[in-house]
Structures are given as C-alpha cells and as structure tokens.
Amino acid sequence: MILYCIYYCVRLFVAEETQEGIWQIGGYWSLEKRMKDIANMEAEWTTLLANFPDEAELQTLKGLAKKLRENAYALDRSLRSQPMHYYALLHGDCKAANIFLASLDGTDEVTQGGRVGDEEQVLKKSRKESMAGAIDWQWCGWGLGMQDVVYLISTSSSLQVLEKEEREKFVSKKYILSLRENLCQRLCDGPCKEGHAIDVLEQFSEDRLQLQFRVALCDYTRFLVGSMWGKVTPSSIEKVRLDRNVGMHKRNLNHLLWLARNSNLYLSEFERKVTGTHRKVAKALSLSLQLASMAGQIARDVTQEKTLGTVNKTGDDEKALDPQTKADRDSEQLILNVLSACLPDVEVIGEEGYEPNQADGEKQKSTLNEHLVAPWEVDLDDLAQSDTQGSGTDDEITVWIDPLDGTREYVEGTRECVTVLIGIAVNGQAVAGVINQPFIGAEGRTLWGGLGMGVWETYGTCWERATPLQRHQQSPQKEEERRLIVATTRSHPGPKVEEGLKKLPVDEVVRVGGAGGKVALILDGKVDAWIFPQKGMRRPLL
C-alpha cells in the first residue's frame, strides 16, 4: 500500500547512520549517469507519439521532449543545490516490487508491494518501524527525499492515487506531514514539543518540499523520455500489464500521460516569470561557460609553442609594461565572434578592443550548447526596471571579456592565478559571471554562477558534474585565535596599497596577480578579503 511505502521513505530520510560505498548521487536516472540519452530525446518522443496516433492528449504534448532537454541541466542543478538539511539517503530504486510489507493482522507474514492503493486504515499501523523493509540497494546514494517519493508513485501507485495527487497533493502532503512529525520526534527524543515543532516547520517548509517534488518529477520524466518511452507500444503495454517489476508508466498509458502532462505543467510554471532578458542572460551564460573553457585550452596550447607571441601594448615603454600574448588575442577573438553571432543585439566588449567576425562565429556556434542554464534559474526580480521592459535589447545587456587575466604572470610562468573572465550585466548591474582557471587541473577549472543560482564549480567540460561551491567559514575560534588573511596585487604595488594593509589587523598577506585569481582564492576560502585601495581603472572605457 502506498502509505506504507511513503512512510518507509520518511524513515530512510530521518535515518542517521553513516553509509559507505554508496553513490554520491542516488538513483540510476541522474543526469550524469544518463548523458547519452539527451541527444535522443526528441527522436524517442516522436517514436512514442507515432506509436499512439489516436491519443489526442499525448499528441498535444509534442514539444515536451524539447522542453525537458533544454531544462535538463537546470533541473539537475536544482535537485543538487537545496539547503543541506534536505539531503538524505535515497534507496534509488524505490518501487513497490522492492518493498516488503508486514501483514495488517500483526502476524510475521511479509508480502511484496506490487501495485498499491491509498487505503487510509494503514495510517496508524504504518508508523511502526516494523511495517516495511526494502531490498535491491544497488542505486542507493544521496539526494532529496522527494526523489524517492516521485519514483515510487511513478512506478507503483494506482491511477486513483495519481489523480488524488493531481487534485489535492495527496501523496506529497502525506510525506511532508510524516517527515515533519518524525524529525520533530527525533529532535525531542520523544513526543514532539512546541518549540521543536516550530523549528521543523521553518526548516522544512511545505512550499520548498512541494517545489522539490515538481522538479524531481520533471527530472525523472526527462530520463523516461530519453531512455524508455520510445519503446512503449500498445502491444508492449499488454505484454507487461501484470508484471509487478515493471513501472506502471510502461504498463498503463494513463500513468505515462499523467507524468507527461504534469511535467509539461510544472515546466510552464517554472517559466511563468521568464522574460526576454532572462532568456538572453541564460543563453549568454551558457555560451560563456563553454567559451571560457575553450579560451583556457588556447592558453594551455600557446604555452606549448616556441613563443608566446608577446607584445607590449604600451609600446617601447618598459616601465609601463602591459603585455599581450597570442593567447589574449586568439581567446578574445573566439569569444567575441561566437557571442556576437549568437546574440547579435547584445553589446560585447573585450579588453583587447577587437571587432567581431560573425561569419567565423556562425561556424563555431553549432558545436555549443545554448541551454546549459535555464532562464528561470536566473533571478532578475530585484534589478531596476529598464525602458525595454525585459525585452533583452542591445542597450540593456552587456557582456565583458578579459580573455587572459594575469597576462604578466602568464608570461613569467606563474600561472596558477591566470584566468579567463566573462561578466554579464543588465542595466549596468552584474548578474552572472565566469572564471576559468586554465592551469588548475588537467583540463582547467571553471567557477561560475548568477543571481539566484549560487556559484558552481566544474572541472574540464563535464557540465553535468558541476558541483555547488559551498560558502567557506572559519571554524569557531576564540577572538585572539582568529586569523585575517587577505590577498592583494602582485603586479601593481604602490604606497596606497601598503598603507591600506597597515591599517588592517592582517595576519597574512597573499600577493597574487590577476583579479580572477584573487576572487577564486576568496571563493575557495583561502583568503578572507581582497585589498586594493586604488582609485579608478588602469585605462578608461571606450
């Protein structure tokens, strides 16, 4: 019965055991495990539609596969960037066939789950710890409890339960209520007390848990569209109709329709506030991630050539050394060309001042994914309103490029702090940015993020394996034991910098080149602040 299984999911969530040898991300359908499915999603969905030409509702959802593909990375990140206290142990294959229930009459008899209903008489009994147990833990790992709940009702619940969920959030609300009750009892080590109940209500809000349910459902449907549903036909449904080890979405077309319909609805809800500006910022950030990584590869490749192609942008004045290398030139041209071709009405400004070659950009853009970031991920609500009302025109969005920050260090061979920088602004306010570190790791490291979506870390080009960068805080110490570590310039020292440092209770000064390198040190928790008390910039804007 579905309530037994739901309460079993709750017990898993509140379990405090430390588990070893499990998946970092639970479940076999997570994006990083199913990347090969992404390219096939539209073709698989088209095959399913062709298999059921007379199903009118299914035919109205022709665009679902495209929407799921374009949102795949964003859905995955949303599942992996919730507050830490929402994460727990997932079974990873939590279907009724893997859950065994004790009999209702109190005997020792155990029965296999199978397809389950919504009988209310199990409410009290199902809270007993002995009522359910599970087998087949090969996909056990960490995740949001709602991921097991979504998988359970998608594979194992009756159509009546799905309809009740659609009308009144029946299953998800039962899970939330039981979760809160169990967490409260654990905090109190007994009956729930009022103060602890308030804490649990605040920490596990129904709105956030319901959002997790919707995201998890869309994410699971993404897997089904790309991997399973292209094989579903009327004859295949009849063949497995009574096979309890097969998910209900492959045994009954109405179950499949329920998942597809609600995924389409939820995706539309996510995009309810999306404007043209959101779309262009998301596209610019998606492209910038990949272009910064490509520029990082150029920086590494140039170091393998006989010469770096270095020139001094200030001419023969050695006292005013401002080096530029082949890596600076090639990287800026690449980024400028592609962004100008893909976003022709967005202003793109590079440090080296080159003009874009849109023809070259057109050739290169076909290899890039414009949907690594979804428009609904970027929060622009607090920005000042523009005259264009969010249409995303050229005087509203600006992309700034520093193709090789820390060029002097690059030339001198001190390359750990060298970075590629791309910033995105709306109405003059920074909204998103990318820092690529070409010489951290074998294929470089990218730190990136935007308003409302936090900061992420990616090694190489495995964007599906991006991990949220945790905020670093010093461990609690006595006041006299705390240390203040600051970063400052290596290449541009001066009296004002040294005077500023002397005025602060600094315990250690780290002198590194490049703005991006210093920001990376802060994000990594290696320094507490970047001190540079200089007025203005080295050169005026054009």
> Catalytic residues, which ones?
328, 407
Cα gap 351→359, rounded to integer Å: 21
β 485-489/508-512 pair status: parallel
DSSP state, residue 471: P
Environment class of residue 95 by beta-carbon count within 10 Å: exposed (0-12), middle (13-18) or buried (19+)? buried
145 is written with which tokens? 């409890």
Region for 346 from its dihedrals, namely left if φ exceeds 0, alpha if ψ lies in -120 to 50, beta otherwise: beta
Q: Which of 9, 44, 24 is nearest to 222 (CA)?
A: 44
User: Based on the number of CB atoms within 10 Å of its own CB, is 147 exposed (0-12), middle (13-18) or buried (19 or more)?
Assistant: buried
Question: If we measure between CA atoms, which residue out of 397, 394, 440, 441 comes closest to residue 422?
Answer: 397
In DSSP notation, 159-184 reads: HHHHHHHHHH-HHHHHHHHHHHHHHH
The pair of three-digit structure tokens given for residue 326, joined into one six-digit string: 């082949």
| Residue-by-residue DSSP string for 315-374 | TT-GGG--EE-HHHHHHHHHHHHHHHHH-TTSEEEETT-PPP-HHHHHHHHTTS-TTSS-
CA of residue 261 relative to chain centroid, distance: 24
Q: Which residues contact 292 (CB under 8 A, 6 or more apart)?
A: 335, 420, 421, 422, 434, 435, 436, 446, 448
Q: Which residues, in sequence order, are CB contacts of 517 under 8 Å at separation 6+?
A: 405, 406, 409, 416, 417, 418, 419, 437
381: burial class by Cβ within 10 Å (0-12, 13-18, 19+)? exposed
CA-CA-CA-CA torsion sign (241, 244, 246, 248): positive
Amino acid residing at 70: E
Q: Is the dihedral of CA 518, 519, 521, 526 positive or negative?
A: positive
Both tokens of residue 324?
Answer: 């530029």
Angle at 524 between CA 87 and CA 510, to 5 degrees: 160
Query: What is the chain's percent helix, strand, coil content, to nearest 5?
Result: 50, 15, 35
Task: Please state the φ and ψ torsions of residue 347, each to the nearest 5 degrees.
Answer: -75, 130
Tokens of 469: 């960068």
Is residue 430 within 8 A of residue 531, CB to CB? The reply is no
